[in-house]
Amino acid sequence: MAQYRLKVNGTVHTIEADPGMPLLYALRDDLKMDNPHFGCGLSQCGACTVHLDGVATRSCVTEMSKVGNREVTTLTGLGTPEHPHPLQTAYVEEEVPQCGYCLNGWIMTAAAFLKTKKHPTEDEIRDALAGLKCRCGTHTGIVRAVKRAAEKMA
């Protein structure tokens, strides 16, 4: 066991954890966060995506020993109900959410992508989101929402 100082959504937390424990477990079990979600545990679906220093990262396979002093941002830290991120607003406007379980991964991945690509094409959006899974089949709406958010953020 080791002690870790995590800065999550701007707040510093101290937890004790095994160095090999996934960051996802620290966020959900130790910090009692309801996002990100556990999906596959193999970095294949994206439901667990967070930002580490602004980079989309699968927290289910990111060991605590690899987190270091990097800033962790979750969907909760991306925007609030009072001040939503443009992606969160676009998802509502495009009526994307169905079950909502996967949205954490899609929004967090898209947010990191839009920081580096201001005017993405539809193909670039699809490439950036490749590998994420949505069992409800809202992929077309997701691409529309990312495109809408990109236009607002440009």
What are 91-106's pLDDT values in tens digits? 999 999 888 889 999 9
What are 17-76's pLDDT values in tens digits? 999 999 999 999 999 999 999 999 999 999 999 999 999 999 999 999 999 889 999 999
Second-level CATH architecture of 86-153: Orthogonal Bundle (1.10)
Domain boundaries, the chain: 2-78, 86-153
**pTM of the shown model:** 0.94
Please spell the DSSP secondary structure of the chain, one letter per residue: -EEEEEEETTEEEEEEE-TTSBHHHIIIIIS----SPPS-SSSSS-TTEEEETTEEEETTS-BHHHHTTPEEE-HHHH--SSS--HHHHHHHHTT--SS-TTHHHHHHHHHHHHHH-SS--HHHHHHHTTT---TT--HHHHHHHHHHHHHHH-
Which one is predicted more confidently, 135 or 110? 110
pLDDT at residue 1 in the model: 93
Domain 2-78: which topology? Ubiquitin-like (UB roll) (3.10.20)
